[in-house]
Every structure is written in structure tokens, then in C-alpha cells.
Structure 1
Amino acid sequence: MNVEQLAKLQYKQVNSIYPIIGGECNLQTVNAEPWLKVSDEGITLEGLCFDRQGNLYFVDCSGDNVCRGSFPDREIKIIYHSPGLHPAAVKIHKDGRLFVCAVGDLKSTGCILAMQPDGSDVEEIVPPSAGYCVNDMVFDQKGGFYFTDFKGIPTNTIGGVYYVSPDFGTILPVLQNMAAPNGVALSKNQKYLWVTEFNANRLHHINLLEDGIQIAPYGAFIPYTFTGYRGPDSCCIDSNDNLYVAMARQGRVLIFNKTGFPIGQVLIPGRDKGNMVNTTHPAFIPGTDQLIICTNDGTNGGGAWVYIARGFTTGHLGYQFSE
């Protein structure tokens, strides 16, 4: 046989550095718009969260800062700084305190700190000595919370999800043997836990028993496996129990219905050329269907921004601070 007569593989024209593949191409898609510029530098933003007064809290992980954005003047202020902290999320307890998750050295010095909205009266809820690498958390209606221990790779699954009791005195495992669990969210009825597994590119849907710790028989599912470089990051739900998952290094947010089927996506402009692709965290402006997304441009010169788009319906704060 003449080798020259064999068909040769050819590169197809792909107009994106981060192409959207398969059925995801046919999802309902909207483009986000710039909303708030945070920095001229490509710092790593995480943990978007509004308080009762409409102030926006977020963290600068790379700069070890917890920040507050005041509106309508859009003034950004650093309220807490601790070298080596590397904060990854901030949530607001019903008593008004900020709960800040930190990954520390990405091995064993992570923690959860509670503080007043001005950054004062800092208290260790989960101390660095506990040995976790805390990435994200979500409160339940009892006043306890779940957090992700952001450790592990597919060949060394040492990460997990843990529950802290309402008196903050007990830490119990919920899921273990994971490869860097990242985002965590609760369904409206508090019976289902969503977890994104960053280093395994997977989405978990967990049916919890009444104690909120044990998993129901045949109650642990992986409804979706993601594709591409870097994995799923933080997540949130809307009032219809749809789940919004930020895709790190892909410049987009994927949206799933309450049974884990993809139903839509939000794209960051410039992603096809590799700009603003470091999408880490989605959140809703309270009482609206307006979804904000934090992202940064790395070393490309575009800085760090919060973008905005409209979701399927209004956001759901749950027990973030409303109860």
C-alpha cells in the first residue's frame, strides 16, 4: 500500500483557545458584561458575598486580603490582611459576622476565621492547627456549616467535605477520598449537597439524611464530568434550585438544573483568545436575577474584574444571613 494515499488527519479550524465541546455547544448561552474593576493587576479574586446593607465582600487570595466594596460609590477597601492566609471564600453568618475560609500553605495550615464586618474581633473557628486546607463553605439552617478540604489529586485522594456543628465544637466528615473538593452549595430544602471536585473535574450530588451528615443509601452521585484544562470552582444556587458553577481557566459559568443536567452557560468576553478566563466564583445580587462573576486576566494585562449577567431566575441566599 502506498502510504501517501492514506487519509491524513487535519486540524479543524477552532476559533477558541478554550473550545466548548459536544452538547455544551447547544446550551442556552449569554455573554457577561464588565461590572466592577477591582485591580489593574491580575490578582486572584474569590468569594463574592453581599451583606444586608448591600456591601459586597470578597477576597484577594494572592494578596492575602479580605475586601469590601461599598455601593453606589463602588469604593473598595481592604478590611483584613494576614500574610500567608490566602483566603478563598467569605460567607456571612446570621449574626452578621464574616466567616473567611483560607487555604494557607495549600497543605495543612488552612483555617476559618470569624470577624466583624470591619475586620475586627477575629476568632478562629477552625484553627490552622486542625490541619485542613479550607476552600469554601455553606451554612445550614441549624447554624452549622459544611466546608471543603481542598487537598488531593486523582492519584492521592486525601481531600474531603466536613460538617461543623452549630456550636462550632465538632467537625465530622461527610465525604472523603476526594481530589481537591472546591465549591459547596446546599439545595433550598437542605436535603442535597452539591460539591465540585476541582482536580477530578467532577460534580457531586449528595442526598443527606436528617442529621445532615450521613449520606442516604445510594444517595451519592456524580451527575456530571467536566472537560478541559482546570476544573470546576465555586458554585451557588438560584431560587429554582439551579446550580451555577464557575469554571476555572475557562472563562465561563456552567448552569445545571436540580437533577444535575446542564441547561445553560454564561461566557466571559475575550475567553476565546485566552483573556479573563480565570473565573472562580459566581453569586447573585440579593433579590435579583443578576449574576456576578469574579475573574482575572492573569499576566495578560487586563486586571481583575467582576462581571455581570442575568441568570434563569432570582438568586437564593438560603441561610447565608437571612434567618
Structure 2
Amino acid sequence: MTETEDYITQITEEVQSANQWLPALYEQLAKRIVGQHYLIDRLLVGLLANGHVLLEGLPGLAKTSTINALALAVNSDFSRIQFTPDLLPADLIGTLIYNAKDNVYTTHKGPLFGNLILADEINRAPAKVQSALLEAMQEHQVTIGDTIYPLPEPFLVLATQNPVDQEGTYPLPEAQMDRFMLKVVVEYPEEHEELQILDIMAQTRPKIPIEPVLSPEHILAMQDIVDKIYVDTSVRQYIVSLVMATREPARVDEELVPYIKYGASPRATINLTLAARAKAFLSGRGYVTPDDVKDMALDVMRHRINTTYEAAADEVTREDILTRVLELVPVP
């Protein structure tokens, strides 16, 4: 057995020992959330990979309910921020309050000082407020006055947004979008799932308690294990090739060239690797496969490429482009 095989065996044992909480977590979430397995999987990937998650979908698709249920199952500090057009940056990060009696300023910390932050309907607030999240999401710190305050660890922003063509929405700036590791599109439930939803939730005051099964310390420990998951050189090259194909589409298909204004940033390369590692962790493996990469590629890159007017005219979506890239880039 080679040194690499020894390492993979060791990490796989650590992964399988650490992810024994999964059945209990799924059991707690299933009390309130019917179906939405894809959504739950992506939220767990974000949690394990220390990456922020943006959920997009029409109202009423359990986006907020799923995040609330996850926050209850993870015994951590949870803040919910409802984004509205009149929200101010100080409403998120906090502010300095003058005490006239003592002639001093005291710091009032905002709701961002928590482990799990639900930014609900994030695109209903103007860009100035959305941008107040940039430092917190990237640096895990905020600046109030002249002082920098570190945010608690783990720190994860789980944001929901309505489709941008809905009334009263503001598109997120590109710099803000790039801070999200994943952008997940939430779809309608299946018919049999809707019947289950009816059975569980069609009450005036549904009481469905959720027991905590994880702590912040558990999450940090699992993130350390995720960092150790093995990524072979060929898989790393595959990840880079996928990202480069969005910047230089002529590499894979000349027909894609008129449709891409600019491709994914280096942050996409980093986040795709981390997301693939987290996916391997959830699968009980100490190594990443090309299938892990392919499974996460759409959610990691759909918000990181910008399409042209020609794409809009030809009704070519970002998902269409990325699907084509995944078909054409050789898999190791």
C-alpha cells in the first residue's frame, strides 16, 4: 500500500467516524421539511465547507423554514435579518451609541454577530445595505467606527432571494454574488411531497419541536477534517479546466464564445474544491472523485459567469452553458 493510499484510508476512517451525526440530523430536519433533499444537501455542504449559501426561488418553497430548522438542529447563535428597502447598514453590523451622561460612545453590535445568519429576501434591500455584508462574509469581521470586531466561528450566511424579475427586488452586485460559495435554485415539491406537507403543516399552530444534534465545536472539528480530504492531481486539473472553460470557451466549443461576457473567478476554483471535499465527506469518503466535482459545479459557478445579450436573445441560460461545459471537458 502506497503512502497516498495509507493517507486516504486514514482520512476515510476519520470522515466515517465524524459523520455519524448525519442520520440524526436528517431525522430532525424531516420533522418540518418534506422533500427538498437537494436543498438540505447543499446547506450541509456550505456548513462543512465554511461557505455562504444563496437560495433562490419563489415565495413559499420552504427556503426560510429549512434554514430555521437547520439552525435549531445546530445548537448555535442564530440571527434572522429581514431585508427591506428601508434597512440601513448599521441595522446589520451595529453602530456607536453616544452616552451623554458619561460622555462616551458604546458599541452596539448588530445581528451579524452570530454563527448562522439568515438573510431573508436579501435582494429586497438596496445595494448599499447588501454591500455591508461584504467584509463580514469575506473576512469574518466587521468594522464599527475605528474598531474591527471578529465574528464568532463558525460564521455562515444563508441568504434567500426572490427571482430578480419579481416586483421590488434589486439584483445583487457581482462582488456580493461572488462571496457566496453556492447559489441553489429551489424548485416546487413533487405531488406526493405536497400531500405530506399538507398533513404536517395544515394546522393553525403547528408545533414541531426540533432537538439540537450538533454544536459549533462539532462543526469546526468537521471543517478541519474536510480540509484534509484528498484531492488527486488529476481532479485538481479537472476543476481548473472547468473554470478555464468558462473564461476561454473556445477551448471546448466555439459556439459558446458569443454567449459568455466573462467567466468564473479564481474564487470559483477554490470553492469548487472545497464543495467537492464537503460532498465527499457527506458520502463517507476521504477522497474527492470527479463525480463530486460535477455534482457541485453548477451551484458553484452559475452565479459567477455573466452572459451576453446574444445569450438572452437566443434564450441560452447560464445553466445551459455550464451543462455544455461539463459535457465537453474531459473527465479524468
What interval of TM-score do these two structures reach, taking the shorter chain for normalisation? Answer: under 0.3
Q: Which structure has the bigger radius of gyration?
A: 2
Of Structure 1 and Structure 2, the greater strand share is in 1
Of Structure 1 and Structure 2, the greater helix share is in 2
TM-score normalized by the length of structure 1: 0.26
TM-score normalized by the length of structure 2: 0.25
Structure with more contact order per residue of length (Cα contacts < 8 Å, sep ≥ 6): 2
